[in-house]
């Protein structure tokens, strides 16, 4: 079985450029379906999830082609409206293709999506919104048969009971070419939503308020393809910062938007790291001994602390003197990395949605198993700072979201390799 081996305890140092954002790329890849012609997406990361997204487009009849850092998509040949069960199972984000297929074809057959097992992850908000926009949905045994009433979806006033990222994206993709005006109230405000809106507006959509809680979309008849550069990945940026901090090292991160990490950088400062922002770069220098942050870390929708960084920050906190408390409010099953961190000697107690970490510098290498995407990254971060050899198995998860994570840490001086 493929594994990443880390001989930990080496101080990391150097500079790094950040890959394009996975979570911004996926809905934008889905959105290319809305325009016939060639879209060029720069900085699109080459990952398992973006490959899955390309496979979905190919299945639907689109052409996809990588050229260096760019993904080129031509959706003129789109002729199918069903995503296979197998592809739907591979990632949760496959559901955000639904709004775009309905906009383009008027009908769609999809299945309940799979993805990392971090909670029940329902799709009721997506489905309720599409129904309000004139879609009939028939559900049978996990299969969803959807059909637009009439020849086009229509705009609607939608109120999300929770600011779901995926539901906001699905509604946007359905609404940009729907007839009339759609308003999404309590929309997700994650920067990746704003990136999607920027892409869609560049294609000719009329969206106001992307990245705020109220998004207004005036439906247009059609979109034209465009050339677009995906935003940098804030979760990857923070993973690198945490990995370096755990080793007491220093890093200069280039091409990153520090504003998107406003809930994360103060925690790192609080733990004893010197953090400086210079335009699109972040400099971090860690102390040899980190301290537990004074406040509990509570995951929240943006701009709160990202749930995707909870496992990674937990790995770092294992090396910080004192007690760190994590409260996971977004996903109910997002502590599956805890037993793996414990194999390295971490002291962590979990009760419901709360995890309490007693930090120490005594962690030692062990064999551990990736449990989900960010949980896998957390094990790598822990392995970098643990003494001795850590072997991380089940890389299928971490490869969903990181472009060669071991090479990035290796360039910073880590003794890390994949075999
Ligand atoms: C996206 C991100 C993921 C991140 C998450 C929260 C992508 C590809 N993935 O996932 O990395 O961890 O946002 O920031 O962008 N919910 C419902 N009903 C729905 C939809 C969601 O109850 O119809 C609930 C979920 O169970 C969960 C919460 O809302 O508790 C957040 O989910 P959501 O924001 O939709 O996350 P994703 O879009 O799946």
* Residue in 29, 99, 164, 309 to alter for ligand 1 test, most ligand atoms within 8 A of Cβ: 164
One domain for residues 368 and 329: yes
Residues 273/250, Cβ–Cβ less than 8 Å: no
State which ligand 1 atom lies nearest to the alpha carbon of 306.
14
Residue 42 to residues 24, 131, 226, 360, Cα–Cα distance (Å)? 12, 34, 11, 42
One domain for residues 376 and 406: yes
Domain that holds residue 318: 232-418
State which ligand 1 atom lies nearest to the alpha carbon of 330.
30
Length of the chain: 419
DSSP single-letter state for residue 312: H
Among the candidates 173, 195, 225, a domain finishes at 225
Identify whether 303 is preceded by a cis peptide bond (ω within 30 of 0). Answer: yes
Which helix (H) or strand (E) is 393 found in, with range? strand 388-393
pLDDT over threshold 70, residue 93: yes
249 falls within a domain: yes
Ligand 1 center–CA 302 separation, angstroms: 12
- Total number of domains in the chain: 2
pLDDT over threshold 80, residue 366: yes
One domain for residues 177 and 249: no
CATH of the domain at 277: 3.65.10.10
Which helix (H) or strand (E) is 125 found in, with range? helix 124-132
Q: Which residue numbers are catalytic?
A: 116
Residues 308/235, Cβ–Cβ less than 8 Å: yes
CB-based burial, 12-27: b 16+ in 10 Å, e otherwise: beeebebbbbbbbbbb
What is the pTM (predicted TM-score) of this model? Answer: 0.96
pLDDT over threshold 70, residue 343: yes
One domain for residues 338 and 238: yes
19 falls within a domain: no
Determine the pLDDT at residue 26: 98
Contacts of 301 (CB under 8 A, 6+ apart): 163, 188, 189, 190, 330
**Percent of the chain residues topping a pLDDT of 70:** 99
Among the candidates 225, 256, 278, a domain finishes at 225
Condensed to tens digits (0 to 9), the pLDDT of residues 232-259 reads: 999 999 999 999 999 999 999 999 999 9
The average pLDDT across 198-227 equals 98
One domain for residues 198 and 128: yes
Atom 8 (ligand 1): residue with closest C-alpha? 23
The average pLDDT across 146-150 equals 95
- Of residues 354 and 122, the one with the higher pLDDT is 354
The average pLDDT across 82-86 equals 94
């Amino acid at each position: 079985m493929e594994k990443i081996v880390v001989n930990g305890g080496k101080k990391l140092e150097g500079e790094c450029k950040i890959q394009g954002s996975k979570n911004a790329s996926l809905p934008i890849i889905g959105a290319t379906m809305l325009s016939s012609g060639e879209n060029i997406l720069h900085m699109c990361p080459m990952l398992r999830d973006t490959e899955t997204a390309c496979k979905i487009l190919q299945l639907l009849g689109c052409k996809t082609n990588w050229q260096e850092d760019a993904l080129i998509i031509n959706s003129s040949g789109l002729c199918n409206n069903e995503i296979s069960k197998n592809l739907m199972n591979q990632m949760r984000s496959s559901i955000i293709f639904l709004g775009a297929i309905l906009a383009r074809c008027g009908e769609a057959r999809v299945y309940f999506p799979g993805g990392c097992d971090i909670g029940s992850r329902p799709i009721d908000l997506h489905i309720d919104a599409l129904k309000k926009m004139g879609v009939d949905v028939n559900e049978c045994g996990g299969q969803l048969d959807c059909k637009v009433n009439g020849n086009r979806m229509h705009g609607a006033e939608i109120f999300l009971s929770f600011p779901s990222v995926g539901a906001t994206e699905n509604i946007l993709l359905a609404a940009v070419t729907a007839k009339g005006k759609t308003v999404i109230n309590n929309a997700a405000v994650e920067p990746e939503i704003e990136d999607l809106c920027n892409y869609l507006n560049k294609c000719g959509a009329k969206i106001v308020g992307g990245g705020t809680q109220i998004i207004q979309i005036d439906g247009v008849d059609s979109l034209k393809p465009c050339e677009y550069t995906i935003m940098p990945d804030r979760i990857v940026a923070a993973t690198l910062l945490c990995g370096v901090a755990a080793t007491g090292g220093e890093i200069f991160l280039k091409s990153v938007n520090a504003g998107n990490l406003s809930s994360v950088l103060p925690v790192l400062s609080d733990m004893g790291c010197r953090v400086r922002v210079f335009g699109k770069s972040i400099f971090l220098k860690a102390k040899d001994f980190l301290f537990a942050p004074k406040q509990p870390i509570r995951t929240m929708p943006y701009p709160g602390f990202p749930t995707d960084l909870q496992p990674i920050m937990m790995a770092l906190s294992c090396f910080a003197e004192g007690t760190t408390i994590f409260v996971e409010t977004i996903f109910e099953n997002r502590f599956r990395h805890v037993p793996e961190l414990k194999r390295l000697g971490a002291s962590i107690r979990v009760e419901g949605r709360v995890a309490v970490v007693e930090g120490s510098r005594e962690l030692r290498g062990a064999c551990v198993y990736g449990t989900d995407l960010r949980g896998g990254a957390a094990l790598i971060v822990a392995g970098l700072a643990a003494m001795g050899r850590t072997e991380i198995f089940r890389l299928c998860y971490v490869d969903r979201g990181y472009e060669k994570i071991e090479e990035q840490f290796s360039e910073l001086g880590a003794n890390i390799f994949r075999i």
